[in-house]
Amino acid sequence: MSLKQSLSYITFLSLIFSTGCGSYSEFSSEATKDYSRAEMQKFAKYMVAGKQLYTTHCSNCHQESGQGLGKLYPPLAKSDFMMQNVNRTACLIKNGIKGEIIVNNITYNQEMPALEELTNLEVAEIATYIYNSWGNERGFVTVKEVETSLSNCQ
Amino acid sequence: MKIYFKTFIAIIFGVSLLGCDPAEKQNKNEEFPILGRKQFVERTVNGETVVDTIDHTIPDFRLVNQDSIWVTPKSFENKVYVADFFFTSCPTICPTMKKEMLRVYNAYKNNNSVAIISHTIDPKHDTVALLKDFAQRLDVEAPKWNFVTGNKEEIYELGQKGYMVTAMEDENEEGGYIHSGAFILVDKEKHVRGVYDGTNSNDVDRLIKDIDRLLATYNEPKTKS
C-alpha cells in the first residue's frame, strides 16, 4: 500500500467511526430511538449548538444543571410547566415572560428578559437542548415548530 | 541527540520549578493588606510635626433592610462582612453573584462573626417588600444577609467612595445599570481587606479562605465550628 492509499484508508476508517451511530449515544434517549442516522446527526448538531447558546444566554439564571436557583429562577430540568406546552416555551425564550407562574408546585414571579435577537433556528436549538437534557426527553424541537409557535404567541 | 534532548527537558523542568517556588512561598506568607488610599495627617506633638497615616475606612451609612430595619456600620460591630451591589431585575451577572454569595452564606451560617450586605442600585424598583420576597426566594435571612435599599445617591456614593466599586445608572447597559460584580471583604475596623470577582467561583473560594484567615487574626474559629 502506498502512503497515499493508507492515508485515505485511515481517513475512511475514522470517518466510519466518527459518523457511526455509536458516537451519538450521548444524545440518544427513548425519544430519539426511532430516529434515522440522518435525523440523529441533525439532532446531535442541535444539541451541541443549543448547549452553547444555553450557556451564553440562560445558564446564569437557570444554572448549568437546569436546576434553577431557589425560588427565584425556576428549574428547566423535569419542569412540568415546560413539558405542558412547547409553543409557550418558544415564545418565552424569544419574548421573555413575567408575572406569576407555577412550576412543579412552586410559584415564581420574576421577570425573564426577552432575547429578540435570537433567530428561529437558534430558538429551535435552545429548545431542543432544554427539552432533551437533565432527564427531559422530548426529542426534536424543529425550526418549523418554532416558526409556527412564534407566529401564534400570546 | 536523545541525551541532549533529555537534559534540555530536565533543565526546562528545573527552571520552571525554580521559577514557581519562591512565588508560591510568597503567596502563602503574603500579608493581608488594608486596601484603599491612605491619608496622611500632620499634627504637632510637643512642638514637632508628626505624620499619622490613616487607612481608608468605610464611611457611615444608614440604609434599610428587607425586614425594614436600619442597617448602619453599627450593625456590623464585631463582625467581618462581605458587601456587594446588585438589583433584583438584573439579567446579567447578578444571578451568578447571588449563587456564589449563597455559598458564602452557607459557609458561615452558624458563625455570628460574619455577615453579608447586598446593596440594591435600583432602589426605586427594589422596595423593602421586593427585597423581602427576593431574600425569601433565596431562602436566606437578615441579620446574616442584609438586602438594603435607601437613597440612591447615598448608595452610589457608598459604592464608589466607600467600597471602591462601580455602581451607577447607564441607559446603554443591559438592565440599565453598570455595576461591578465585586465582593468586598471588610474587617471589624471597617477596612477593606480584599476584593473578589463574585461571578467566579475560584475567586469566591479564595474569599472564603480569606475570611477564615481574617477571623484567625482575631483569634476566632473558622467556618466549620
B137–A71 C-beta distance less than 8 A: yes
Residue A119: give the domain boundaries.
Answer: 36-151
d(CA B157, CA B59): 10
Determine, yes or no, domain membership for A139: yes
Q: Min CA distance, B21 vs chain A (Å)?
A: 36
Q: Is B191 labeled as ligand-binding? A: no
Residue A28 inside a domain? The answer is: no
Of A22-26, A120-124, B32-36, B194-198, the poorest mean pLDDT is in A22-26
Mean pLDDT over all residues of chain A?
A: 89
Percent residues over pLDDT 90 in chain B? 60
Q: Any known ligand binding at B179?
A: yes
Residue B26 is assigned to a structural domain of this protein: yes
The pLDDT assigned to A7 comes to 59
- Domain match, B69 and B117 both: yes
SS3 readout for B100-153: HHHHHHHHCCCCCCEEEEEEECCCCCCCHHHHHHHHHHHCCCCCCEEEEECCHH
- Collect all residues with Cβ–Cβ distance below 8 Å to B154 and sequence separation of at least 6: B61, B62, B63
The answer to whether residue A24 sits within a structural domain is no
Instruction: Determine the pLDDT at residue A6.
Output: 65
Q: Is B119 annotated as a binding residue?
A: no
Q: Which residue of A has its CA nearest to B88?
A: A110
In this predicted structure, what is the pLDDT of residue B19? 40
Q: Is the pLDDT of residue B18 over 90?
A: no
Q: What percent of chain B has pLDDT over 70?
A: 79
Does B224 reside within a domain? no
Residue A18 lies in a domain: no
Position B33 pLDDT exceeds 90: no
B102: its cell numbers: 449563597
CATH number (domain holding residue B82):
3.40.30.10
Instruction: Name the residue among A61, A71, A111 with its Cβ closest to that of B95.
Output: A61
Asked if A64 contacts A55 with a C-beta cutoff of 8 angstroms, the reply is yes
Q: Is residue A22 part of a domain?
A: no
Closest CA to B192 of B87, B59, B65: B59
- pLDDT tens figures, B168-201: 666 666 666 667 899 999 999 999 999 999 999 9
Mean predicted confidence (pLDDT) in A35-46:
92
| Predicted confidence (pLDDT) per residue in A98-118, tens digit | 999 999 999 999 999 999 999
Q: Does a structural domain hold residue A85?
A: yes
Average pLDDT over residues B164-168: 76
CATH number at residue A47: 1.10.760.10
Confidence of residue B29 (pLDDT cuts 50, 70, 90): very low
Q: Sorting pLDDT into bands at 50, 70 and 90, what band is B101?
A: very high
Residue B145, chain A, CB below 8 Å: the answer is no
- For the cut 80, the answer to whether the pLDDT of residue A27 exceeds it is yes
Residue B223 lies in a domain: no
Tally the domains of chain A: 1
Residues B19 and B85 reside in one and the same domain: no
According to the model, what pLDDT value does residue A10 have? 60
Put simply, the answer to whether B89 touches A111 (Cβ < 8 Å) is yes
Range of the domain at B193: 63-217
The pLDDT of A36-51, averaged and rounded, is 94
Q: Which of A63, A72, A111 sits opposite B137 (nearest CB)?
A: A72
Q: Give the sign of the dihedral formed by CA B83, CA B183, CA B39, CA B53.
A: positive
Which is more confident, A44 or A22?
Answer: A44
A29 part of a folded domain: no
Split at pLDDT 50, 70, 90, the class of A11 is: low
Least Cα separation, residue B158 to chain A (angstroms): 27
- Give the count of domains, chain B: 2
Residue B225 located in a structural domain: no
Judge if B18 and B70 occupy the same domain. no
Which chain B residues in 34-93 lie under 8 Å from chain A, judged by CB atoms? 88-89, 91-93
In a shared domain, residues B10 and B72: no
Residue A126 maps to a domain: yes
Interchain pair A72, B139: CB under 8 A: no
Would you tell me how many other CB atoms lie within 10 Å of the CB of residue A114? 14
